[in-house]
């Protein structure tokens, strides 16, 4: 618990909040979430399964959460998007959905290692927190999309939730 608390504080200090504004700032915020997510995937895939090696994964997981929260704040503070901005952001959402899927697959593949170290429940908690934050981010962005495009935006964001659900299901099976 102490390590997790310290990592949350460190993660919050290390990730700068993005400046709110328009479609370009939302795009940049989503690109940051993508970068942090890909870094988490890399750390999980390169992990040798020992407890000490799990610390960088936990730290990176907090960076991902912080970037998601920053993107949510950016979206909430932004002006409504134009149709062109919404289409530009659609490409960032599609890219993010792909990176989230890859990261969740890596986490699922490492399930036995997390379970062996008795930290699968911690990973599950982090996944649930990140899914909730990700849903909040998606909703904040969708609210800024022009009304006629919101149904499409929801469909573009759906694979992110599906990827989280798959990982959560795997980690929930042990509890």
Q: What is the CATH number of the domain that holds 116?
A: 1.20.58
Q: Is 143 exposed, middle or buried (0-12, 13-18, 19+ CB in 10 A)?
A: middle
Region 120-129: what's the mean pLDDT?
97
Question: In terms of residue numbers, what domain contains 105?
Answer: 2-172
Residue 155 has pLDDT above 60, yes or no: yes
* Residue 4 scores a pLDDT above 60: no
| C-alpha distance from residue 102 to each of 27, 44, 153 (Å) | 20, 11, 21
What's the rounded mean pLDDT across residues 94-111? 98
How high does pLDDT run on average in the chain?
A: 90
Are 70 and 29 within 8 A, CB to CB?
yes
How buried is 121 (Cβ within 10 angstroms: 0-12 exposed, 13-18 middle, 19+ buried)?
A: middle
- Our count of domains for the chain comes to 1
The token pair at 63 is 């960076």
Q: Indicate if the pLDDT at residue 92 is higher than 80.
A: yes
* For range 62-78, the mean pLDDT: 97
Q: Is the model's pLDDT at 100 over the cut of 90? A: yes
- Give the integer Cα–Cα distance in Å for 65 and 82: 27
| φ and ψ of 104, to 5 deg | -65, -35
What share of the chain in percent tops pLDDT 90?
86
Query: pLDDT of 9-45, one tens digit each?
Result: 334 433 333 344 689 999 999 999 999 999 999 999 9
């Amino acid at each position: 618990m102490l390590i997790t608390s310290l990592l949350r504080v460190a993660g919050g200090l290390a990730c700068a909040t993005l400046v709110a504004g328009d479609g370009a700032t939302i795009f940049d915020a989503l690109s940051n979430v993508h970068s942090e997510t890909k870094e988490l995937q890399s750390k999980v895939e390169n992990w040798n399964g020992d407890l000490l090696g799990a610390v960088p994964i936990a730290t990176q997981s907090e960076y991902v959460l912080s970037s998601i929260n920053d993107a949510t704040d950016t979206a909430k503070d932004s002006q409504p998007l134009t149709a062109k901005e919404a289409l530009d952001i659609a490409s960032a959402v599609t890219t993010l959905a792909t990176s989230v899927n890859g990261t969740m697959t890596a986490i699922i593949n490492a399930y036995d290692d997390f379970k062996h170290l008795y930290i699968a429940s911690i990973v599950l908690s982090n996944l649930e927190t990140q899914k909730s934050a990700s849903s909040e981010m998606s909703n904040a962005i969708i609210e800024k999309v022009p009304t006629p495009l919101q149904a499409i935006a929801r469909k573009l964001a759906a694979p992110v939730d599906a990827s989280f659900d798959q990982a959560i299901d795997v980690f929930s099976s042990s509890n």
